[in-house]
């Protein structure tokens, strides 16, 4: 499900900074920093995602911009938040999941102890959905830990990259799709 032309989508559109050729030539980077720095922007994003994520009992945010959305959403839902970290940031023991990037591989990690994830209903959150590889890896990681991933939620979806298809049949809620 994707919101079209509503006030949240318009706010996202007006508060996204487009940066050509970053971080690699040919990539059109969508910088949502202005949106998150805007009081109305952050409130509107978390409110709109909270409608879709009702019923989740934990919000997992992807390193690093996903943390911002996840914490705001968790506060709305009245849940805790789990930071899904890039490899090498967390002290051991960790659970890790490798995934492919355009060039090479990357790793996502969560703590292997101290958080009970069995049967927890988790919504996974990031700022931008592109190919879907990152959210798919986060999903595998959380499911290996025993969680039930109920949906993915993002602010901005780059539809032509097909991330939604990679995540199917997991429901994906994006607030703006381009
Ligand atoms: P992907 O795994 O291809 O779906 O990439 C998603 C991750 O990379 C997210 O954590 C995004 O923050 C980041 N990302 C990928 N493409 C872009 C882009 N064009 N603009 C901003 N962030 C991006």
Q: Where are the domains of the chain?
A: 56-177
Instruction: Summarize the confidence of residues 37-54 as an average pLDDT.
Output: 97
Ligand 1 centroid–CA 83 distance in Å is 17
| Residue 161: pLDDT over 90 | yes
Residues 42 and 150: their CA atoms lie apart, in Å, by: 23
Instruction: Find out whether the beta carbon of 27 lies less than 6 Å from any atom of ligand 1.
Output: yes
- Report pLDDT for 114: 97
Return the bridge partners of 148, or none: 121
Return the bridge partners of 81, or none: 59
Instruction: Summarize the confidence of residues 54-59 as an average pLDDT.
Output: 97
Q: Which of 128, 160, 162 to mutate to test the pocket of ligand 1 (most atoms within 8 A of CB)?
A: 128
Atom 18 of ligand 1, nearest CA residue = 29
- Report pLDDT for 3: 45
Mean pLDDT (the chain) is 96
Residue 148 to residues 29, 151, 156: CA-CA distances in angstroms? 31, 9, 24
User: In percent, how much of the chain has pLDDT > 90?
Assistant: 95
- 102: annotated active-site residue: yes
Residue from 80, 4, 14 nearest 48 by CA:
4
- Report pLDDT for 71: 98
Structure confidence by residue, pLDDT tens digits, 123-141? 999 999 999 999 999 999 9
CA R_g for the chain: 15
Instruction: Summarize the confidence of residues 90-109 as an average pLDDT.
Output: 94
- 120: annotated active-site residue: no
- Out of 1.10.730.10, 3.90.79.10, 3.40.50.300, 3.40.50.2020, which CATH number does the structure's domain 56-177 have? 3.40.50.2020
Q: At a CB cut-off of 8 Å and minimum separation 6, what does 59 contact?
A: 53, 70, 71, 73, 74, 77, 79, 80, 81, 82, 122, 123, 125
Atom 3 of ligand 1, nearest CA residue = 131
Residues 141 and 162: their CA atoms lie apart, in Å, by: 21
Ligand 1 centroid–CA 7 distance in Å is 24
- Report pLDDT for 4: 55
Instruction: Summarize the confidence of residues 57-81 as an average pLDDT.
Output: 98
């Amino acid at each position: 499900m994707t919101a079209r032309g509503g006030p949240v989508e318009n706010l996202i559109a007006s508060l996204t900074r487009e940066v050509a050729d970053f971080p690699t030539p040919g990539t059109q980077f969508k910088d949502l920093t202005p949106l998150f720095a805007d009081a109305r922007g952050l409130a509107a994003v978390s409110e709109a995602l909270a409608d879709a994520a009702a019923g989740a009992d934990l919000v997992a945010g992807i390193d690093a911009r996903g943390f911002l959305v996840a914490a705001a959403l968790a506060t709305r839902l009245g849940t805790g938040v789990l930071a899904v970290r890039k490899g090498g940031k967390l002290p051991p023991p960790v659970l890790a999941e490798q995934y492919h990037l355009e060039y090479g591989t990357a790793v996502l990690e969560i703590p292997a102890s101290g958080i009970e994830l069995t049967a927890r209903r988790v919504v996974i959150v990031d700022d931008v959905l592109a190919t879907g590889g990152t959210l798919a890896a986060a999903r595998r990681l959380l499911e290996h830990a025993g969680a039930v991933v109920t949906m993915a939620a993002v602010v901005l979806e780059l539809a032509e990259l097909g991330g939604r298809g990679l995540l199917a049949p997991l429901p994906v809620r994006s607030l703006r799709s381009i």
